[in-house]
Amino acid sequence: MPENNAIVEQWLAMPHPDLTDYIRRLVRGGSMPSPVWTAVGAHPVLAARVRGILSALHSQMADHRDHTMWTLWITNARRALTSPPAPEHETPPRVDIQPPARLKADTAASDATPRHRPTTVTPVTFLAPGQTTTNPAST
């Protein structure tokens, strides 16, 4: 990670227009997040500057024909900027998974019955203005 810290120092020393152009090229260049974003996210001042540049870049690309791809790239960069660094080669302890116990016959029988009783729905009759509730076909 020393090379990433050197990049952070370089980015801090860059003027705003140069940093904007550099970030634009870095965002467009990769669909996969770079470890540089994690190093930049660890520095609060630089992370704020980069978030502002990403927001400006997103608004500039609103009318671009590749707006969807730019949105994807910028979102990936924002995620990588805010995500904590992944632990290196640290595996969680393995837990032996026990198979579930067999179901009893009583449990299977209760699952076959419905959990709620069906309710009766009263029919709704729509009437035209001036029409009565009697059926005109029966008269």
For residue 112, is it within any domain?
no
For residue 119, is it within any domain?
no
**Nearest Cα residue to 7 out of 29, 31, 40:** 40
Q: Which domain holds residue 65?
A: 2-82
Sign of CA dihedral 35, 41, 45, 48: positive
Confidence (pLDDT) at 53? 92
The rounded average pLDDT for each run of 10 residues, N- to C-terminus, in the chain (139 residues) is 76 90 85 76 88 91 87 88 64 62 58 68 83 64
For residue 77, is it within any domain?
yes
pTM of the model: 0.56
Confidence (pLDDT) at 49? 92
For residue 37, is it within any domain?
yes
Helix locations, 14-129, DSSP H: 16-29, 35-41, 44-60, 67-82, 105-112
Report the domain count for the chain.
1
For residue 106, is it within any domain?
no
Residue 43: HSE in the Cβ half-sphere, 13 Å Cα cutoff:
17
For residue 116, is it within any domain?
no
For residue 55, is it within any domain?
yes
For residue 111, is it within any domain?
no
